[in-house]
Amino acid sequence: MSTATTAPPVAVGRFPATSEAFTPWHDARHWIAGRWCDPRSRRESHEVVDPRHGRAMAQVRLGGADDVDRAVAAAAAAFPAWSEWPIRERAQVMYRLRERMIASLDELSWLVSHENGKVLAEAKAEVEKAIECVEFGCSLPNLAAGNQLEVSRGVACEVAHAPLGVVAGVTPFNFPLMVPMWMLPQALVGGNAFVLKPSERVPLSSLRLAEMLAECGLPAGVFNVVQGDRVVVEALCDHPRVPAIGFVGSTRVARQVYARAASHGKRALCFGGAKNHLIVVPDADVELTAENVVASFTGCAGQRCMAASVLVAVGEVDHILDAVARRARTIRPGVDLGPVTTAAARDRIIGYIDDAEASGVKVVVDGRGATADPGGYWVGPTILDGCRPSMKAACEEIFGPVLSVIRVPTLDEAIAIENANPYGNASSVYTSSGDVARRTMERVEAGMCGVNIGVPVPREPFGFGGWNDSAFGHGNMTGWDGYRFWTRQRKVTSKWALQRDQTWMS
């Protein structure tokens, strides 16, 4: 077994909350070369606000280009030794991390719930999904064996996966723990050293992640965190020693990051926003559809790139829409539904509802004025019936618990509406007809499609990734594609026929 650098003393430790009561915590600092440290030159901080209470639970100290330099230097120093560990030994860190995360499931879930706002059950689901990503990392040694073939007499070709070096990931606010885990297991088991830039709105999960990885035997410098905002992201895009960047966030920023990284010749995979359409036809199962549609558009307060956003109602489906509305009215803000991320997000979401109502749309279920814990940023489930495809509520990403209903007479028109929107993350159909399901799945312009499933996430070992304006770059972020993204193929062609006549062999 290779020798790991001794884990540093725990500086942050357990997140203490065991309920939703407001819980202040440590300020978020950088984790570089296995130590906590502060920004070198920038002095600004950003409040980490618990959205349920609308109060700052910590500060995050924003880094700059010099902090990126420091982190990249630490990663570059750690990379040669780490990349020489056999893949099976690198994967052992993931096995230990898996056990560590399972043992800390409650703690991590409360941390995610407090910094992001999602309710505990949703936070637990996030941590469990992050663990599933780690499990995929554990399986890589069994999957990553390269190919070998005698391509002509005495000549063999073999392909091996080599790490890229120091790579970087930039993540959004809506999944503080899971989205980093879309990248880390493949990148680390692939032999890279990593610099993570978490969202400045939810930097706290990265503190626990850094400490847990160190406790699990990851050598200092192999994983680093630089806290910050666009300044850090741009420095990572421009840094000459970072050959690859994974990004997850809004389409506007994904497009910018992709262009900037690509302009420096980097490999980049940048996931953006979404506007997911659920197509409901008259033969759909009423109760299954109602439960599933509501879970999709209200889960995580609609702040999921996979959330249902538009329901395209085909033909006479009033009986199903009534069931959806009935179900949505049972969702209790504060209990089943968490707050949205900021006051500005709440106001933006309510602006979409006001705007739709002013243009004649019926607000069948109205989440404006919802309240739970005082001070929090609440919007209740909202259903807007009678939207036109060109309306803002029907074509822009709202990122809140709002479902816009568009009515059309035929399946062809429903598919045309889905395909006219520039995003391509997810799309689902609710039907009991195999023919309708197949025809829809073959024609919708979306990377992740569902039949009677409102959040069609392709779970491990399948790769997660959208199309069109939801993804810039090639391939998927999770699963085997993730391993391919964070590694490069070394092709070795060998000819040993020279030895054929040497007598000492015979």
Torsion of Cα atoms, 25 then 31 then 36 then 38, to 10°:
-90
Does 111 bind ligand NAD (CB under 6 A)? Our answer is no
Distance (Å, rounded) from C-alpha 243 to C-alpha 265? 8
The distance from CA 99 to its chain's CA centroid, rounded to whole angstroms, is: 22
Q: How far is the CB of 290 from ligand NAD (least distance, A)?
A: 24
Question: 134 CB contacts (<8 Å, ≥6 apart)?
Answer: 94, 97, 98, 101, 181, 185
H or E element that contains 408: strand 402-408
**200: contact with ligand NAD by CB under 6 A:** yes
Sole window of 26-34, 96-104, 166-174, 349-357 interacting with ligand NAD (rule: CB under 6 A)? 166-174
Smaller CB separation from ligand NAD, 468 or 470: 470
Answer yes or no whether residue 206 interacts with ligand NAD by CB under 6 A: no
Binding mask 271-310 for ligand NAD (x = CB under 6 A): xxxx------------------------------x-----
Q: Which is nearer to ligand NAD, 53 or 275 (CB)?
A: 275
For ligand NAD, the closer CB: 79 or 173 = 173
DSSP one-letter string for 194-262: EEEE--TTS-HHHHHHHHHHHHTTPPTTSEEE---SHHHHHHHHH-TT--EEEEES-HHHHHHHHHHHH
Query: The dihedral of CA 364, 370, 372, 377: what is its sign?
Result: positive
Measure the CA dihedral 142/163/28/52, to 10°. -50
Residue 128, token pair as written in the block: 């469990």
Cα separation, 14 vs 231, in Å, equals 30
| Distance of closest approach, residue 421 Cβ to ligand NAD, in angstroms | 13
Contacts of 151 (CB under 8 A, 6+ apart): 157, 493
Q: Which stretch binds ligand NAD (CB under 6 A): 53-61, 124-132, 194-202, 212-220?
A: 194-202
305 is catalytic: yes
Cβ nearer to ligand NAD, comparing 53 with 260: 260
User: What is the layout of strands, in order, in the sheet containing 223-225?
Assistant: 35-37, 30-32, 223-225, 193-197, 166-170, 244-248, 267-271, 471-472
Tokens encoding 60:
């995050």
**CA 192 vs CA 48, 166, 183, 327, 489: distances in Å:** 30, 6, 11, 47, 14
> Contact between 172 and ligand NAD (CB under 6 A)?
yes
- Measured at the CA of 284, the angle between CA 282 and CA 290, to 5 degrees, comes to 110
Binding flag, residue 174, ligand NAD (CB under 6 A):
yes
The reply on whether position 250 binds ligand NAD by CB under 6 A is: yes
Within 8 A by CB and 6+ apart from 196, the residues are 168, 169, 170, 171, 180, 184, 206, 223, 224, 225, 226
- Is 122 a binding residue for ligand NAD by CB under 6 A? The answer is no
Binding of ligand NAD by 233 (CB under 6 A): yes
Q: Which of 289, 296, 425, 487 binds ligand NAD (CB under 6 A)?
A: 425
249 touches ligand NAD (CB under 6 A): yes
How many amino acids of this chain bind ligand NAD (CB under 6 A)? 29
What is the footprint of ligand NAD within residues 40-59 (CB under 6 A)?
A: none
- Of the pair 397, 460, the CB lying nearest ligand NAD is at 397
Least Å from the CB of residue 430 to ligand NAD:
22
Q: Tell me the CA distances in angstroms from 79 to 33, 76, 82, 95, one per residue in order.
A: 11, 5, 5, 20
Among 92-100, 143-151, 247-255, 288-296, the segment contacting ligand NAD (CB under 6 A): 247-255
Taking alpha carbons only, the member of 35, 46, 44 closest to residue 70 is 35
Q: For residues 255 and 439, which CB has a smaller minimum distance to ligand NAD in the complex? A: 255
Instruction: Indicate the residue among 231 and 408 with the shorter CB distance to ligand NAD.
Output: 231
What DSSP state is assigned to residue 284? S
173 lines the binding site for ligand NAD (CB under 6 A): yes
Which of 305, 387, 395, 449 is the catalytic position? 305
Residues 393-422 that bind ligand NAD (CB under 6 A): 397, 399
Piece of 16-24, 164-172, 185-193, 494-502 that binds ligand NAD (CB under 6 A): 164-172
Site residues (CB under 6 A) for ligand NAD, limited to 304-363: 305
Query: Which window, 123-131, 168-176, 406-414, 487-495, contacts ligand NAD (CB under 6 A)?
Result: 168-176
Nearest to 244 by CA among 202, 201, 304, 183: 183
Nearer to ligand NAD, 167 or 274 (CB): 274
Please say which residue, 186 or 425, places its beta carbon nearer to ligand NAD.
425
Q: Counting contacts by CB under 6 A, is residue 443 touching ligand NAD?
A: no
> Binding to ligand NAD by residue 248, rule CB under 6 A?
yes
Do residues 430 and 287 touch, judged by C-beta distance below 8 A?
A: no
Q: Residue 190 CB: number of other CB atoms within 10 A?
A: 25
Binding site for ligand NAD (CB under 6 A): 170-174, 179, 197, 199-200, 229-230, 233-234, 248-250, 253, 256-257, 271-274, 305, 397, 399, 425, 466, 470
Annotated active-site positions, please? 305
